[in-house]
Chains A and B, each alone.
Chain A
Amino acid sequence: MATGREVQLYLDLLSQPCRAVHILLTRTKIPHRVHSVALRKGEHRTSEFSKLNPMQKVPVLVDGGFILRESDAILKYLATTFDIPEHWYPWQPERRARVDEYTAWHHSNTRPHAAKVFMLEVLLPAQLGVPVDRRRLDRALSDLDVTLERLESMFLRRQPFLCGDDITVADLLAVCELMQPLGSGRDILKDRPQLRRWRSRVQSAVGESFDDAHAVLFAVRDRHRARVIKGQGQI
């Protein structure tokens, strides 16, 4: 690790993939500087940010002159270029393949289904001032349930972590997505002890990095709770 090298991270900790990257950085003490991009204020849509990422998404990594988008690409880049414990993204082909398998599956499964619940319960009502669309929410919860079932039976099974005996970047991506519905006070792992135990193992493995990354989400949860209580008080 060269001295003086500090990577720049453009992120919003409300965003799940941003948290995964943030946790890896802080846990493994990779020198970095955070640049906040407030999604709520539309800062990802400015022409300045679009130069960094025409897709207008966070996180974005800048290392020297090198700009990289997409959280799983960023996580794998960091694991490879910095001298961090090998278990995060193992070199052994079969173990690496297991991580690549999960990070691919994640995009069409864990990510959309967990994100949708948060969007329907928190984001849309907050942004549009409309009540929660219960029909769509029920469907989203049902889809998420299928995903959780698959996480348990296809990936976790009897292993401590999703891809084997050690924590990997796959666990970071997954746990941050599964935390998101907490923004409305909903613990989607409430009835799933196997996944709850896995979440605890992940929390232990990353230490205070976990709560540091999730502070913003917890604040959203508290504001949401207050809003709901206030709304109920007015009825």
Chain B
Amino acid sequence: MVVELYLDLFSQPCRSVFIFAKKNNIPFEFKKVSLMDGEHFGDEFGKISKIRKVPALRDGDFCLAESVAIMLYLAEKFQTPDRWFPADLRLRSRVNEYLSWQHSAIRMHGSKMLWMRLMIPKIMGIDVPKEKMDGALEDLNASLTLIEENFLQDRPFIVGDQMSLADLVAIVEIMQPLGAGLDVFEGRPKLSAWRDRVQASIGKDLFDEAHRGILGAQDSMKQLDPSKLELFKPKILRLFF
């Protein structure tokens, strides 16, 4: 029985799981869950992902949430190349260190940009106050600077000489604000050079395939029926106001 991956490529952690599975030729069934349509609230999906988030994995009777846990599980099951999550404990711990840090840093701040620049204006019909936007941008920049100066430094990748899960999880988060028209690579040559290396390592076609949706977000939002977005209002009110 083939592994099922429940994904919406609009979501950063779904992209990392998708790229990881494809790059490693892991056979899987792509099960689309459309966040915009609220499909993650459905009964069926609730049986697979107890936390009602994407990505989710189903392997026979075993269901798993959280992209990091999913990729580690797949890495073990399919014995993917060592560089993704090195057996060497110190290198592995460096990967874990990044995977841990990023949740409340770049993931949080990158996500916010999409909400503040695109989703909130569209759904609530208002612009986010400048002060809040500036604060969010400052946080995002602080995370990007830490990535450059602490996690990358002079290395080609975050850990070692080859791309690992750390770089994969990093790149999908850093790409998210681009969906809202914010070019985070501008004025950051070190980050841009790293992105080029990561893209080359993943392969341009796969990278583009994974990011097509998010990079077209501004256009898709224009076409979206506003009534569909009602279900996002509670979350927005809770998070941002």
Q: Which residues of A contact B (CB under 8 A)?
A: 54-55, 66, 68-73, 76-77, 80-81, 93-94, 96-98, 100-101, 103-105, 107-108, 111-112, 139, 143, 150, 153-154
B49 to chain A, nearest CB (A): 9
A68 touching B93 in the complex, CB below 8 Å, given contacts A54-B146, A105-B51, A112-B104: yes
Q: What's the Cα separation between A72 and B90 when bound, in Å?
A: 14
Task: Give the residue of A93, A108, A112 whose beta carbon is less than 8 angstroms from that of B76.
Answer: A93
Task: Decide if B182 is an interface residue (CB 8 Å cutoff).
Answer: no
Write 25 A-B pairs (CB below 8 A) sorted by A numbering: A55-B101, A68-B97, A69-B97, A70-B96, A70-B97, A72-B100, A73-B96, A73-B99, A76-B93, A77-B89, A77-B93, A94-B62, A97-B69, A97-B73, A98-B69, A100-B68, A100-B69, A101-B64, A104-B67, A104-B69, A105-B65, A111-B104, A139-B238, A150-B51, A154-B50
Which residues from 20 to 71 on chain B have a C-beta closer than 8 Å to any C-beta of chain A?
50-51, 62, 64-70
Task: Give the residue of A66, A98, A104, A154 whose beta carbon is less than 8 angstroms from that of B90.
Answer: A66
B236 to chain A, nearest CB (A): 14
Q: What's the Cα separation between A119 and B67 when bound, in Å?
A: 29
A54 touches B89 (CB 8 A): no
Q: What's the Cα separation between A70 and B101 when bound, in Å?
A: 7
Q: Which residues of B contact A (CB under 8 A)?
A: 50-51, 62, 64-70, 72-73, 76-77, 89-90, 93-94, 96-97, 99-101, 103-104, 107-108, 146, 149-150, 238
A80 touching B89 in the complex, CB below 8 Å, given contacts A107-B103, A111-B104: yes
Q: Chain A residues near B89 (CB, 8 Å)?
A: 77, 80-81
**Chain B interface SS verdict (over half):** helix
Q: What's the Cα separation between A184 and B55 when bound, in Å?
A: 37
A66 to chain B, nearest CB (A): 6
Closest 4 CB pairs of A and B: A107-B103, A100-B69, A73-B96, A70-B100
A93 touches B108 (CB 8 A): no
Q: Chain A residues near B69 (CB, 8 Å)?
A: 97-98, 100-101, 104
Q: What's the Cα separation between A104 and B104 when bound, in Å?
A: 11
Q: What's the Cα separation between A80 and B90 when bound, in Å?
A: 11
Task: Give the residue of A54, A105, A108 whose beta carbon is less than 8 angstroms from that of B150.
Answer: A54
Q: What's the Cα separation between A80 and B92 when bound, in Å?
A: 11
Q: What's the Cα separation between A77 and B146 when bound, in Å?
A: 23
Of chain A, the residue at the smallest CB distance from B102 is A107
A49 to chain B, nearest CB (A): 14
A93 touching B68 in the complex, CB below 8 Å, given contacts A81-B89, A108-B103: no
Q: What's the Cα separation between A154 and B47 when bound, in Å?
A: 11
Q: What's the Cα separation between A105 and B67 when bound, in Å?
A: 10
Inter-chain pairs besides A73-B100, A104-B68, A107-B103, 16 sampled, C-beta below 8 Å: A54-B149, A55-B146, A66-B90, A68-B94, A72-B100, A76-B93, A76-B96, A97-B70, A100-B68, A100-B69, A100-B73, A105-B51, A107-B100, A107-B104, A108-B103, A108-B107
Of chain A, the residue at the smallest CB distance from B239 is A143
Of chain B, the residue at the smallest CB distance from A57 is B101
B72 touches A108 (CB 8 A): no
A104 touching B103 in the complex, CB below 8 Å, given contacts A66-B90, A70-B97, A154-B50: yes
A69 touching B101 in the complex, CB below 8 Å, given contacts A77-B93, A105-B66: yes
Q: What's the Cα separation between A81 and B93 when bound, in Å?
A: 11
B14 to chain A, nearest CB (A): 14
Q: What's the Cα separation between A143 and B90 when bound, in Å?
A: 36
B72 touches A97 (CB 8 A): yes
B66 touches A100 (CB 8 A): yes
B20 to chain A, nearest CB (A): 14
Q: What's the Cα separation between A153 and B65 when bound, in Å?
A: 15
Q: What's the Cα separation between A104 and B100 when bound, in Å?
A: 7
Of chain A, the residue at the smallest CB distance from B68 is A104
B110 to chain A, nearest CB (A): 13
Q: Chain B residues near A100 (CB, 8 Å)?
A: 66, 68-69, 72-73
Q: Chain B residues near A96 (CB, 8 Å)?
A: 72-73, 76
